[in-house]
Amino acid sequence: FEKIPMKTPLVEMDGDEMTRVIWQLIKDMLLAPYIDLNLEYYDLGLPHRDETGDQVTIASANATKKYGVAVKCATITPNAQRMDEYKLHEMWKSPNGTIRAILDGTVFRAPILVKGIVPYIPTWEKPITIARHAFGDIYKNTETIVPAGSKAEIVVTKPDGSEERQTVHEFKESGGVFQGQFNVDESIESFARSCFNFALDTRQDIWFSTKDTISKKYDHRFKDIFQEIFDAEYAKKFTEAGIEYFYTLIDDAVARVVRSQGGFIWACKNYDGDVMSDMVATAFGSLGMMTSVLVAPDGTCEYEAAHGTVTRHYYKHLKGEETSTNSVATLFAWTGALRKRGQLDGNDRLVDFAGKLERATIDTIEGGVMTGDLAAMSTLPEIRKVNTQDFLIAIKEKLEALL
């Protein structure tokens, strides 16, 4: 087998714990033997983030901007317990948050479907991709607890110094809670463009939903921006691609999604996307089968698994015990990134390889060989539950046959 060359470097962001173990296995067993890997490596493992004062995370995001495609391993977001465990200098911020802030992207999460793993909603025959607007709203809110007898107001100071003042509530007998939130047109516009571009890229319809009947200014603004950008920049391209953009109230969207067959993208505001992506992931089955891609408005893409570092399995692994960790989402992060890199570089062999590796993975599971999380859910008559490494060996056998 003549190794596949790579023209432009792919940005590689290494990570933590069990996913870091899997990362190395995937590279050694399923990539390096077939591809002359051209990678720009950034170690986002927590010890190295700490050593570099988190500068490595920023550098990796900037490299992604430069080259256009990255693949990322799951990483620890430190909390108090991790401060002790890793003797950290600081409680570093979530790398995903830092990268997203630099790339200004939208996260698209989609399940990988296989025969034998039936979604809780059996009509879902095709994946449902959730696009979450990961900026603003309650995630950047200002809130306070209000004592009885207070008056809460909203004040906007305009550029000319004038004030627009509205009473939100007079707290007479009872105290309560009060919250201010915001979003900015620029971010909503980026979100809209990322969504429309991704829909064109993947040739899927896109739905967008908010609560604009209740929120007549805030949510309505989202709806208007989407429509204006769609009409001005995308309507024609969508017609040519044979796909649709469709706006509906979130209540209606929920009902339609549940009754649908899948096969579309559902764009959600920040909070809706947070909740709905967990709901959709659970309904499709395993976190180990959810992929995630961050798409910037300029088309830059960062691929990853939607799950975390699978800490429980890692501690078992450290004790020398056998693990059966699902590597599918991490593997599909690699194939997604390699396919995209191949498409941008006009590298057909790389694109073809990505497809074959995905095929080999799906065939392995559909052939009854799978990790513990899937074995617990599969409806196939004959199942062989395998450990982390043997699962990759089984995929490699299928891959060799396809190549």
Q: Which residues bind ligand NAD (CB under 6 A)?
A: 74-77, 96, 287-288, 304, 307-312, 325-326, 373
> Shortest gap between Cβ of 360 and ligand NAD (angstroms)?
18
Cα–Cα distance, 181 to 136 (Å, whole number): 7
Cα–Cα distance, 326 to 374 (Å, whole number): 8
Please compute, for residue 301, the number of CA atoms within 13 A of its CA located in the half-sphere on the CB side.
Answer: 26
Please compute, for residue 381, the number of CA atoms within 13 A of its CA located in the half-sphere on the CB side.
Answer: 0
Between 269 and 307, CB nearer to ligand NAD: 307
Cα-Cα end-to-end distance for the chain:
9
> Shortest gap between Cβ of 87 and ligand NAD (angstroms)?
16
Query: In terms of Cα–Cα distance, which of 287, 304, 246, 230 is closest to 60?
Result: 304
> Shortest gap between Cβ of 96 and ligand NAD (angstroms)?
5
> Shortest gap between Cβ of 147 and ligand NAD (angstroms)?
36
CA 158 → CA 39, 164, 174, 251, distances in Å? 49, 8, 32, 35
> Shortest gap between Cβ of 242 and ligand NAD (angstroms)?
33
Number of CB atoms found within 10 A of residue 397's CB = 12
Cα–Cα distance, 393 to 140 (Å, whole number): 45
> Shortest gap between Cβ of 93 and ligand NAD (angstroms)?
11
Between 196 and 314, CB nearer to ligand NAD: 314
Between 243 and 276, CB nearer to ligand NAD: 276
- Tokens, residue 164: 């627009």
Between 137 and 304, CB nearer to ligand NAD: 304
Q: E strands, 88-213, where?
A: 106-111, 128-132, 142-146, 151-157, 163-170, 176-180, 205-210
H helix and E strand count, the chain:
15, 16
> Shortest gap between Cβ of 198 and ligand NAD (angstroms)?
19
- Show the CA angle centred on residue 200, arms to residues 196 and 206, nearest 5°: 55
Between 64 and 326, CB nearer to ligand NAD: 326
Cα–Cα distance, 270 to 280 (Å, whole number): 15
Between 72 and 223, CB nearer to ligand NAD: 72
Between 120 and 182, CB nearer to ligand NAD: 120
> Shortest gap between Cβ of 74 and ligand NAD (angstroms)?
4
Q: Is there a contact between 64 and 42 (Cβ–Cβ < 8 Å)?
A: no
Q: Which residue is nearest to ligand NAD (CB)?
A: 308
- Tokens, residue 151: 């008056």
CA 105 → CA 277, 294, 342, 343, 361, distances in Å? 17, 6, 21, 20, 29
> Shortest gap between Cβ of 313 and ligand NAD (angstroms)?
6
